[in-house]
Amino acid sequence: MSVASTQQAVVAAEPTRESLDVLDQLMKPEVQESLTVLVENLPKLAEMVTILTKTYDLVQNVATDRVFIEDIKGGVEEFVKPIQDTAKGLASAAIEANDRAQDESTTIGLFGLLKMLKDPQVQKMFRFSQAFLDVLAERQQRQ
C-alpha cells in the first residue's frame, strides 16, 4: 500500500470536526425534544407540504396562463373604466370652472346670490349638503 493511500485511509477514519459538531448538537436535550416534536408532527407536516406544493403548482399555472391573465385584465378594465371616465370628467369640469372663475372679475352681490339660488345645480348641491350633514348628525348621536 502506498503512503498516499494510507494517509487517505487515516483521514477517512478520523471523524471530522463538522461531524463532531453535529453529534454534539444532537446530544443537547433541547435538540432531542425538538426532534421528538418534529417526528410526532411528521404526518401534519407532510400534509402541509402537500397542500403547499399543490398551491404552488396552481399559482404557477395561473401565473403563466396568458388567457387567464387577459381575462382578469379585461375584467379589471371593465370595472375601472367607468370610474376613470367619471374622474376625468370631474377633473376637466373643475379645470374649466377654475379657468372661467379666473377670467371672471365681476362681483357677485346679494341679488346675484338670490338669482343663483334658483339654479337647479345649486339646489341639488344644497339638498346634498343638507342630507350629508343630517347623516353626520345622526351618526354622531348614535355614538
Residue 66 lies in a domain: yes
* Contact assessment for residue 68 and residue 62, using Cβ atoms and an 8 Å cutoff: yes
The pLDDT confidence band at residue 19, using thresholds 50, 70 and 90, is low
Q: Is residue 30 situated within a structural domain? A: no
Residue 27 lies in a domain: no
Q: Is residue 6 included in any domain, yes or no? A: no
CA angle 125, 81, 123 (to 5 degrees): 10
Using CA atoms, how far apart are residues 21 and 130, in angstroms rounded to an integer? 77
In a domain, 56, yes or no: yes
- Mean pLDDT over 69-95 rounds to 93
98-137 pLDDT per residue, tens = 999 998 888 889 998 999 999 999 999 999 999 999 999 9
pLDDT at position 131 = 96
Q: Into how many domains does the chain fold?
A: 1
Task: Provide the domain limits for residue 46.
Answer: 42-91
Grid cell locating 16:
471530522
User: What are 23-62's pLDDT values in tens digits?
Assistant: 888 888 898 899 899 999 999 999 999 999 999 999 999 8
| 18 in any annotated domain | no
* 52 is a domain residue: yes
